[in-house]
Amino acid sequence: MKAIWKGVVVAESENTELIEGNHYFPKEDINTEYFKESETRTICSWKGTASYYTLEIGKDRNTDSAWFYPDPKEAAYAIKGMVAFWKGVEVIE
């Protein structure tokens, strides 16, 4: 699987986890140069508290377009630290 934004591959992995229609990429398979930590947090009733990244490619920013669960609840432990995308980031095979 590949995650692409602005024509740039921001993540690529053969080991994603599919949950609720979202592919979660292992952290070691993201191109960290494009990721900036965000202060945004949200809460999911069964996964726990999500943290976010903003993607930055050149002068383009996609605020809070990637999220992860640093300390998920037991039911979502399989995605601990893995990264998923939205807000125009295309995920393809």
pLDDT tens digit sequence for 16-38: 999 999 999 999 999 999 999 99
Domain 2-92 has CATH 1.20.1070.10: no
pLDDT given for residue 60 in this prediction: 98
What are the angstrom distances between the C-alpha of 92 and each of 12, 13, 28?
10, 11, 18
Model confidence, pTM: 0.95
pLDDT for res 84: 98
Q: Output the pLDDT for position 50.
A: 98
Which residue ranges in the chain fall short of pLDDT 50? none
Going from N- to C-terminal start, the domains of the chain cover: 2-92
